[in-house]
Structure 1
Amino acid sequence: MASQAITVPEGLTLHTENTSHILLASDEAFLNPVQEFNRDLSVACIRTWSECLNEEKENKWKESQERRAKRPENGSRAKKIKADNQATSSVGPTAANEPEHPPTNEAVAQAEPAVSEQASATTTRKVPEYRPQKITILEALSATGLRSIRYAKEIPLVKYVIANDASPAAVAAMQRNIDINGLGGPEQPATEETSQLAKAEEKPFPQPKVQINEGDACALMYNHRTEKSRVDVVDLDPYGTAAPFIDAAVQCVNDGGLLCVTCTDLAVLATLNYPEKCFSNYGGVPVKAEYCHEAALRLVLHTISTSAARYGRYIQPLLSLSIDFYVRLFVRVFSSPSEVKKAISKTSTYYICTGCQASYEQPLGRVVERVHEASGNVNLVFKASTGPTAPEKCTECSQSLHLAGPMWSGPLHDPAFVSKVLEHVEASEDKYGTSARMKGMLTIAKEELDTAFYFTPTKIAGHFHSTCPPLDEVASALLNAGHQVSRSHACAGSLKTTASWQDIHDVFRSWVKRNPVRMDKISENSPARHLLSKEMKAEANFKRHPQTVTASSKVKLVRYQANPTPNWGPGKRASGGKRKREQGDEE
């Protein structure tokens, strides 16, 4: 539908995003245009996941067909013999039971077409084909309905979307916006004629592509927690924390389904200003360090993991991103009590140095593999980890340590899935207004190392009171020492590495050896003195490594949000008087 064809009533404004259009009033529901990147990314991820899901189901279906073809067909043969006997009896008697009066020529002529028709039916038997499975999406906190509308219009395998909000004003706005996009309308009334037609064609009555529900988000999701009523995708995009909705969400999503979560309360998740609030919402203590935004992702994943584990379910993070003023996660949820046991080994607390920000991991549990000598079977034994993994003071700078977590210590991304999303975006650049930034962030996420926390050379140089070495030289030094290096999507100019904090600091000690610092400017009790006083294990080689991370201008420019408008950011809650705290806002 072209935007010119939409009549804009007085008091409303028209907002167009991709092929979708919505009419907005200032007091109905909140929309933040800056969140177009969030919506674009969500469309791309859900679309890619739905295709992956159908690929998995089609492979299982083919395997089932192959097994069925290899089964002994005794029952089928018996039925075929019976059918052949019936066909023969319709043509004429067998030689053993030939009647005294043979059939006339007319009777034989009538029987011959019957044999031909039966043979034709046998030879033209329809070969079974796999039918792609359509998915259902539940957006628990819909506000304007823009996200649900885009899902319905831009994801080919969508059966329908449930758009929910508890605010009557938001529901009215949703209904108006769904109608102008041609996705709504009442259900067709059932008549005897349409019922028989639908039954004959095995098709349900036409339903609205976006179905509106007015009510409590958790109550709606709990109503969908039985196995037959579960949905394939649950999207949580609230104003602030998603914590109150996660328990219901992990129960109402199908086995292998997708859970999409946004949290905008980074003042709680990414600072140490409100540790008690972070613990009450996410069951962990945040990190006070430059890598606090990655820790925020791990705290939310910990909440989802523990919530799912209560119901015999476990999670597989597909893509976990820290973006501007919020975090956005795409997580698959599976049912498997045996896999749930492994969650303890993917959960850790961390000791964080208050001086140099070095981190020391303390896993909560570990998995031990025991191989049976006779059978060769591998048994998994789950044990508590020993500890503590850190002394009372930091071994690098002798400063005190803060405790953070527990939080998720497993992978943040599934590189294979991210690669597929990236391929889709590259092939569909004209379909996403933020495709350039999507490509930049997805590229970094795909290459990001599966290690906890990143660092920036500028911050480490500050700890040494030295000049800052170029990013590529730090990366090359670590690579030349045999370590792996990547960038982090969560912070500009950051690096992730398999090297220890001592190895990282040795690179900067080598840099200081070439570029001396003024020790008379450093106080005796400064952490810098402790860092500089330690001996290096080996001198760093700063020669450019061929695999070094290059600060590509293309990736750098599209990765970080340029200020699109003055005072952009999370925005304020909609001013509608009846709007409840739980309501989702398209921020």
Structure 2
Amino acid sequence: MTSSADVNSSTATGTMNIPEGFTVHTENTAKILLPSETTAFLNPIQEFNRDLSVACITTWSNRWEQGKRARWEQASARREKNKKRKKNAGEDKEEQGMDVDPAPKPVETQTKSEEQGTVAASAGEKPKPETETTNGNGEEKQKEYVAPKFAILEALSATGLRAIRYAHEIPLVKYVIANDILPAATEAMRRNVELNGLGPASASEESGPAKTGKKTDLGKVRVSEMDAIALLYHHRADNARVEVVDLDPYGTAAPFIDGAVQAVADGGLLCVTCTDMAVLASNNYPEKCYANYGGVPVKAEFSHEVALRLVLHTLATSAARYGRYITPLVSLSIDFYVRVFVQVRSAPIEVKKAFSQSATYYVCSGCQSPHEQTLGRVVEKPGTNNLTYKAQSGPPIGPECDECGFKFHVAGPMWSGPIHDKTFVSEVLKHVEENPGKYGTEQRMKGMLTVAGEELDVPFYFTPSRLSGFFHCNSPPLEHVASALLHKGYEISRSHACAGSLKTTATRAQVYDIIRSWIKLNPVKMENVKDGSPTRKLLSKEPTEEANFSRHPQAISRASQVKLVRYQQNPTPNWGPGSRPNASKRKREDGTEA
């Protein structure tokens, strides 16, 4: 839900006059000022990204608050139990004629935020105390639970649109730090923050000082003008960490990841966007991909899932250096970028397991058949709960592909574990369904979340049309291939990353066996197949078992039954992330000379 309108300089919104030559752009609850002749500050295609981020952070915050409440209730129950025990001990002493204190000492109030249900004390802030009440006799009643609030740090904010939406639309947000290094950008942010009534004038006494360095405003959205990396490192200390960090840069997020995994509070949420898909999802720049993400991509139809797993691998290894580990909640390949939401926790035992969730993949250069080689394994000793960590043996295959005879390319290392938390995905989907009309891209959110929620936790997807290309045969319908796999006892799902795709627990060799059965019914003209080609070798093998292509009742999933926007079509010509703005360009847009 976006719109733009020209506004005269005499028109006022809130407490601020709209400067001449600017346009008010509206997206959901947020309004921002844009120069009338350009929209370089803003990418309206990213509305889906912003809608999804609001929904995911809201869902995470509900989980976070429930955890705080549960720990507060446990602590409260312990306090009550201790008071009763002391009271009973005093009564026993009275019955025995022993001296007792005239009154029990009051129980000291715990100051930990987890037991109070309040936000952890930040730099220069004190935790908000619990509400204490007394009855008519002056005796202390049960303390009341106070719902905690949390802070968000958006390291690369540009116009501040995302930060403003977070402040408006996420109920438990205490404040948002909106940062940019360019003075023109921060000046634009201050205008937009004031336009939305979220600036210093709206700051409450509870807000306290911001957790950042120079040029930081108080208010629900606090504008910061700093280098993003320096700002993230400024929040490394335990008492300075924020609960949510959002990285949405132009291009790669790699330079900011090391600081981000340290700036997130324990159990907090890290949201990361990378738009450099030419590096992540192709084999054109393997050296650049390795420099940014510590792994090598692959040229294959599942390259967009590889991109997600490379980013997750970078997050996991960066966090592991500081005794922290990640849990991917939602990981999506969207349009021209990837967007991941991961929870960051501190636990040395989980860090030890990280290498068992990292793998390299041998991908055939002829038929794209992938073979996994994990970097390590975790072994549980029989009869005990002790774990040992072993190096993995390998390689899993020979020098040539068993299916087509071609050589392998090596991809990775990359994340090999689950890329979604299905329970979390269902909670986000439920939130969207229970708030109709809240998001402008609601239908697409429902579609993509539905597909992601059904997605199998296995790498990688394939498309029957691409496989049939390897065999030079007519493409079997998606439902036929899905039914054949189900009849053989394998699980299947769609993949959110590619239309017409399937994921399955079957190996690629077993999938190829089904294609060979299809070819028995739809023969290939061998005179069109070149000698020495991978197709010739693929067709030379006979199927080990005849496939059943009759319709299986589970071949049509919930995602296929409902009319949802599962896969977005390009809405405009020359669609993409846009060009990176530089300082001189931003100054011109801001009405000043370069």
**TM-score exceeds 0.5:** yes
What is the match of residue 168 of structure 1? 183
Partner of 1:425: 432
Q: How does 1:553-572 map to 2 (within 5 A)?
A: 558-572=565-579
Asked whether 1:121 is paired with 2:137, we answer yes
Q: How far 1:83 sits from its partner (Å)? A: 4.3
* Aligned pairs for 1:196-345 within 5 A: 207-345=218-356
**Higher relative contact order (Cα pairs below 8 Å, separated by 6+ residues):** 1
Write the distance in 1 (CA, Å) between the matches of 2:450 and 2:185. Answer: 36
- Residues in 2 aligned to 1:170 and 1:227: alpha-carbon distance in whole angstroms: 30
Q: CA deviation at 1:204?
A: 5.0
Corresponding letter in the other structure for 1:476: S
* Contact residue 29 and residue 173 of structure 1 kept, 8 A: no
Q: How does 1:460-539 map to 2 (within 5 A)?
A: 460-539=467-546
Q: CA deviation at 1:299?
A: 0.2
Q: How does 1:44-83 map to 2 (within 5 A)?
A: 44-71=55-82, 73=84, 75-76=86-87, 82-83=101-102
Residues 1:515 and 1:203: Cα distance change in structure 2 (over 3 Å) = closer
**Equivalent position SS for 1:211:** strand
* Secondary structure of 1:371 counterpart: coil
Match of 1:10 in 2: 20
Q: Could you tell which deviates more after superposition, 54-63 or 161-170? A: 54-63
Equivalent residues of 2:362, 2:411 under 8 A apart: yes
Following superposition, the deviation at residue 130 of structure 1 comes to: 2.2
Q: Structure 1 residues 558, 203: CA separation in 2 closer, same or farther (over 3 Å shift)?
A: closer
Report deviation, 1:502: 1.0
- The structure with the largest helix share of the pair is 1
What CA distance in whole angstroms lies between the structure 1 residues aligned with 2:203 and 2:525?
81
Structure-2 change in CA distance of 1:489 and 1:188 (3 Å): closer
- Larger-Rg structure: 1
Partners of 2:25 and 2:568 lie apart in 1 by 21
Instruction: Give secondary structure in 1 for the equivalent of 2:565.
Output: helix
**Deviation digits for residues 265-309 of structure 1 (CA, Å, limit 9, x no counterpart):** 000000000000000000000011000000000000000000000
Indicate how the Cα distance of structure 1 residues 256 and 406 shifts in structure 2: closer, same or farther if over 3 A, else same.
same
CA displacement 1:240-275 (0-9 Å, x = unmatched): 000000000000100000000000000000000000
Query: What amino acid does structure 2 have at the position aligned with 1:244?
Result: P
Deviations 1:409-434 (A, max 9, x none): 00000000000000000011211000
Cα gap change, 1:188/1:295 in structure 2, threshold over 3 Å: closer, same or farther? closer
Structure 1 gaps, min length 5 = 87-117, 190-197, 581-587
8 Å contact kept, 1:315–1:333: yes
1:481-525 residue CA offsets vs partner (Å, 9 max, x unmatched) = 000000000000000000011110011001000011111111121
SS in 1 for 2:152: strand
Q: Give the partner amino acid of 1:423.
A: K
Q: Quick check: 1:23 aligned with 2:29? A: no
After TM superposition, the score normalised by the length of structure 2 is: 0.85
Separation (CA, whole Å) in 2 of partners of 1:279 and 1:498: 29
Q: Deviations over 1:90-142 (max 9, x none)?
A: xxxxxxxxxxxxxxxxxxxxxxxxxxxx983257x432232221010000000
Name the CA distance, whole Å, in 2 between partners of 1:390 and 1:174: 55
Contact 2:496 2:567 in 1 (8 A): no
Structure 1 letter corresponding to 2:34: L
Structure 2 CA distance for aligned equivalents of residues 132 and 276 of structure 1 = 48
- In structure 2, C-alpha distance between the alignment counterparts of 1:220 and 1:419, rounded to whole Å: 34
Residue 158 of structure 1 deviates from its aligned partner by: 0.1
Name the structure 2 match of 1:346. Answer: 357
RMSD: 2.5
Alpha-carbon displacement from aligned partner over 1:366-405 (angstroms, at most 9, x marks no partner): 0000134xxxx31110001000111101111111100000
Shift of 1:14: 1.5
Contact 2:332 2:496 in 1 (8 A): yes
Quote the residue 2:556 is aligned against: 549
Q: 1:237 to 1:529 in 2, by over 3 A?
A: same
Match of 1:185 among 173, 178, 200: 200
2:389 aligned to which of 358, 377, 382: 382
* CA positional deviation for 1:174: 0.2
**Contact 1:485/1:549 (<8 A) preserved:** no
Counting matched residue pairs gives 532
Please give the per-residue CA displacement for 1:188-238, whole angstroms capped at 9, x wherever unaligned.
79xxxxxxxx7xxx8858940000110100111111100001000000000
- 1:64 shift after superposition: 2.3
* 1:400 aligned onto 2:407: yes
Do the aligned partners of 1:15 and 1:22 also contact (CA within 8 Å) in 2? yes
Rounded to whole Å, the distance in 1 between the matches of 2:150 and 2:135 is: 40
- SS in structure 2 opposite 1:577? helix
Q: 1:434 to 1:557 in 2, by over 3 A?
A: same
Unaligned runs of 5+ residues in structure 2 are 92-99, 106-133, 211-217, 588-594
Q: CA deviation at 1:84?
A: 6.4
Change in 2 beyond 3 A, CA 1:128/1:262: same
Structure 2 equivalent of residue 359 of structure 1: 370
> Residues 28 and 170 of structure 1 are in contact (CA less than 8 Å); yes or no, is this contact kept in structure 2?
no
Distance 2:564 2:171 in 1: 31
Asked if the contact 1:352–1:358 (Cα under 8 Å) also holds between the matched residues in 2, the reply is yes
> Percent identity, aligned pairs only?
61
For the residue of structure 1 that corresponds to 2:199, the secondary structure is coil
Give CA-to-partner distance per residue, 1:304-337, whole Å, 9 cap, x none: 0000000000000000000000000000000011
Correspondent of 1:141 among 140, 152, 156: 156
Q: Distance in 1 between matches of 2:575 and 2:473?
A: 35
Cα distance in structure 2, aligned partners of 1:579 and 1:307: 33
Counterpart code for 1:183: L
